[in-house]
Structure 1
Amino acid sequence: MNLHSLLARRAAADQPLRIGLIGAGKFGAMFLSQAGRTPGFHVAAIADLSPERARASLQRIGWPEERAGAGDIDAALAQGTTWITDDVEALFGADAIEVVIDATGHPAAGIRHARLAFAHGKHIVMVNVEADALAGPLLAAEAERAGVVYSLAYGDQPALICEMVDWARTCGLPVIAAGKGTKYLPSYHSLTPDDVWERYGISPEDAARGGMNPQMFNSFMDGTKSAIEMASVANATGLTPAPDGLAFPPVGAEDLARVLRPAAEGGCLSHKGQVEVVSSLARDGSEIDRDLRWGVYIVFEAPSDYVKHCFSEYGLASDPEGRYAAMYKPYHLIGLELGISVAYAGLLGQPTGAPRGWNGDVVATAKRDLKAGETLDGEGGYTVWGKLMPAADSLARGCLPLGLAQGITLARPVAEGAALCWDDVVVDADDPSVACRRDMERHFSARGSQAAE
């Protein structure tokens, strides 16, 4: 609650928190739109594969042209401007930069950037939830050994859910379920980028104006992004997926506690302490009243009759017996809220959510019958979608993580709906991302436990 005052002190002392941003796409641009208005922040460098695209993003959000410096990092630091570059290693090499944000959305890049941050003693805020789902438990352990913060990104739903889980547990309230809302029908698992804007509910023209990538946004529709985000939540909180992954029950805000309770008590959960995503659409395609499409929620349990009575006294939406209650936040503002994570890491040395174990994994699953010799095209594409699975099951079955299912070739056919395994694909064992993931699998397999060190 004191972040703003702490930042104001840094500003008054002319010692702003110096930040490096990697990736100036939608999330990065939303952060930049607010960072320039936040006393105590100095975005000293932006690294993007296309500096021209980064400049276009700055122009689109109204960033003052004189602050988009054309010099080098030293000039930017001295003048309070922003250096724009395609040299990400030079960004990490700038000693004055304290916090780096990875907003690339590319798993391999996220792993590389995290390890550069550790090597240079910098905190990293991992907007790149794809990298976190692929190897976050191992990266978080490496960050701890390096004495830096590895953090999920506030404003994105996983960090907001982690905050709510932490709130409930700190209040002594057992968490029964936690998750987010989305727009979902079972048929969406086969959607491709060709279908996305009609199903998402906007025109292609509006999507283009907003800088929205159809393959990335298709991952929101085909269930992949939900699986990725819930894997991150499970790994950060200790909550676990259902054995069959996400069920996407259709439910509105007022019915969360009634539906998201154990099946033995009339709900839909396989167990207490589960991650789950709720749909804003009924299975017939009609809209749910007071849906939670853009929001996050938790369901918690009264640990005593006295607390159960308190739930009733204060008007919480509960199940018919009053034992379970829910709280929710109907919206999230992604990059507009990201400064919370930056301030937590840079000022307090704390994450806004970070993996503490390996409980959930996201497995590449065939969207259609796939043939030997085909090349997989990754998240939100035409060939695979990501299914949430308990990490122990994924490890035991040798499943292929979604984060590696791009640009690799199938060694044999895979039927529609089947989970891909390592043996189904031709993998370069020397690829750094593959090696990192394999290291994580060996680490947790050897320990015989999904808990982090």
Structure 2
Amino acid sequence: MSLIQKLKARAEQGKPVRVAVIGAGKFGSMYLSQAPRTPGIHLVCVADLSPDRARASLTRVGWQADRFEAKSLQEAARTGKTFITDDADAMIASDFVDVVIDSTGSPAAGIHHALLCAANRKHIIMVNVEADVLAGPLLARRAAEAGVIYSMASGDQPALIAELVDWARTIGMEVICAGKGTKYLPIYHQSTPDTVWGHYGFTEAQVAGGDFNAQMFNSFLDGTKSALEMAAVANGCELTAPSDGLKFPPCGVDDLPHILRPFSDGGTLPQKGMVEVVSSIERDGRPVYRDLRWGVYAVFEAPSNYVRDCFAQYGLKTDSTGRYAAMYKPYHLIGLELGISVATIALRGEATGATGDWRGDVAATAKRTLKAGEKLDGEGGFTVYGKLMQTADSLRLGALPIGLAHNMVLKNDVLAGQPVRWCDVDFDPAKQAVGVRREMEALFRKELGL
């Protein structure tokens, strides 16, 4: 049966999948807009630090007020309505939730919720890529030990890339490279919340008239989000991260198999089986023809001359040898697509992208020369951006992960472009996120023989 048939059957049986959302921001709101339209789904609870904000989000996406007037989870489960709360912990511990969606964006919160889900045997969809890259390989193990699913979020680019990679491998192709597109210039690594709008081309009037978060937008521009997402893909797809950060080659969809092939064949990759992000603009600022700014891709290789000939016979765009070809999806719909994850987990018992071995990490890297005594301000801020690294290199260096580089005070100067290390900052080992991360580092040092 298809997913929609399975969902309809659950609706007819009066046994809908009971879903809870933590965080009613943009991603969460996009899913909330679709959940009532999907048979066999009961959005039983929304948890947010501000219940009023959650109610406003539900109203904005078209919910009638009487649908979220339940006074408790029990009432919501009985009546088919939705309960709004600020107590995510109690929601996770309840008997009325099957699948939890963490769309908070907070690494510490994501780790906390994932561990609670494992303890309470709830499946979790980790929209929160910041938490996933900070501690996902360990969180996924904890979920597996508890017999529950820890999954990427369909609609977000890492899960869509994982889907393409799985498709290619399942039909017998070797994946050469996989990733996404974005707008990139090298100068963007130094962008701050004060300069971000100029790089985006937004006027002061546009910014003043909209709901814009400068630090959040800047995390996309300065390369941090790209690094986080590619680390998640490397960890979920058994692919290799570049040894010295993403290169962001300018590339349109027709050139994917030409540019994202190994050095030995005239491409830009040091080896097969890597992650990379392609830029939608040339280094001189000109737009790339048929860019992939909003999309995802996978490049794969024909395993035989027969398959190479099939590529040509069916019109695939290939490199000059005819061996390398690409599949891509030009757009992603973010939270609007999240229902695929919910249904796949609940009805098929499968993740939509599963974090596995720890292959890629994202180090906090100085945007300018930083002085001892300065306080780091985290992802998208004024002090650091996230740089993708191979895990073994990150562990040898003792790199501070970008997910923890917030409100930590420097003990040492750090030169522009250099990673911040654990030994460069004061940190509190008693904080849960710090403790979980340090536990994961110790575990993988042992496994990697470092």
The equivalent of 1:133 in structure 2 is 133
The equivalent of 1:291 in structure 2 is 291
**Closer, same or farther in 2 for the Cα pair 1:398/1:46, shift >3 Å?**
same
1:200 shift after superposition: 2.8
Secondary structure at the counterpart of residue 436 of structure 1:
helix
Secondary structure at the counterpart of residue 180 of structure 2:
strand
Secondary structure at the counterpart of residue 407 of structure 2:
strand
1:84-131, Cα deviation, whole Å (9 max, x unpaired): 111111211221200000000110000000001011110000000000
Secondary structure at the counterpart of residue 292 of structure 2:
coil
Partner letter of residue 294 of structure 1? W
The equivalent of 1:419 in structure 2 is 419
1:65 shift after superposition: 1.1
The equivalent of 1:60 in structure 2 is 60
The equivalent of 1:111 in structure 2 is 111
The equivalent of 2:175 in structure 1 is 175
Distance in 2 separating the partners of 1:209 and 1:229 = 30
List gaps (5 residues or longer) in structure 1: none
The equivalent of 2:77 in structure 1 is 77
Partner letter of residue 345 of structure 1? I
The equivalent of 1:222 in structure 2 is 222
1:351-376, Cα deviation, whole Å (9 max, x unpaired): 10111101000000001111111111
CA RMSD of aligned residues (A): 1.4
Contact kept, 8 Å, 1:98 with 1:122, in 2: the verdict is yes
Partner letter of residue 248 of structure 1? F
The equivalent of 2:98 in structure 1 is 98
The equivalent of 1:5 in structure 2 is 5
Distance in 2 separating the partners of 1:210 and 1:94 = 38
Contact kept, 8 Å, 2:73 with 2:96, in 1: the verdict is no
1:221 shift after superposition: 0.4
Distance in 2 separating the partners of 1:255 and 1:446 = 41
1:204 shift after superposition: 6.1
1:242-263, Cα deviation, whole Å (9 max, x unpaired): 2112000000000000000011
Distance in 1 separating the partners of 2:6 and 2:225 = 34
The equivalent of 2:342 in structure 1 is 342
Alignment of 1:391-410 (within 5 A): 391-410=391-410
Secondary structure at the counterpart of residue 357 of structure 1:
coil
Partner letter of residue 430 of structure 1? A
Distance in 2 separating the partners of 1:211 and 1:227 = 25
Distance in 1 separating the partners of 2:18 and 2:208 = 32
The equivalent of 2:324 in structure 1 is 324
Contact kept, 8 Å, 1:250 with 1:283, in 2: the verdict is yes
1:208 shift after superposition: 7.2
Distance in 2 separating the partners of 1:79 and 1:205 = 45
Distance in 2 separating the partners of 1:205 and 1:335 = 28
Identity %: 60
Partner letter of residue 324 of structure 1? Y
Q: Quick check: 1:33 aligned with 2:33?
A: yes
Partner letter of residue 398 of structure 1? G
List gaps (5 residues or longer) in structure 2: none
The equivalent of 2:306 in structure 1 is 306
Q: Quick check: 1:14 aligned with 2:14?
A: yes
Contact kept, 8 Å, 1:25 with 1:211, in 2: the verdict is no
The equivalent of 1:244 in structure 2 is 244
The equivalent of 1:160 in structure 2 is 160
1:206 shift after superposition: 5.6
Contact kept, 8 Å, 2:123 with 2:150, in 1: the verdict is yes
1:76 shift after superposition: 1.2
Secondary structure at the counterpart of residue 315 of structure 1:
coil
Secondary structure at the counterpart of residue 20 of structure 1:
strand
**How many residues are treated as equivalent by the alignment?**
450
The equivalent of 2:259 in structure 1 is 259
Give the stretch that moved more between structures: 247-256 or 262-271: 262-271
Distance in 2 separating the partners of 1:352 and 1:206 = 36
- Please report the TM-score for the alignment, with normalisation by the length of structure 1: 0.97
Distance in 2 separating the partners of 1:397 and 1:165 = 30
Distance in 1 separating the partners of 2:46 and 2:201 = 32
1:328-358, Cα deviation, whole Å (9 max, x unpaired): 0000000000011111111122110111101
Distance in 2 separating the partners of 1:65 and 1:341 = 27
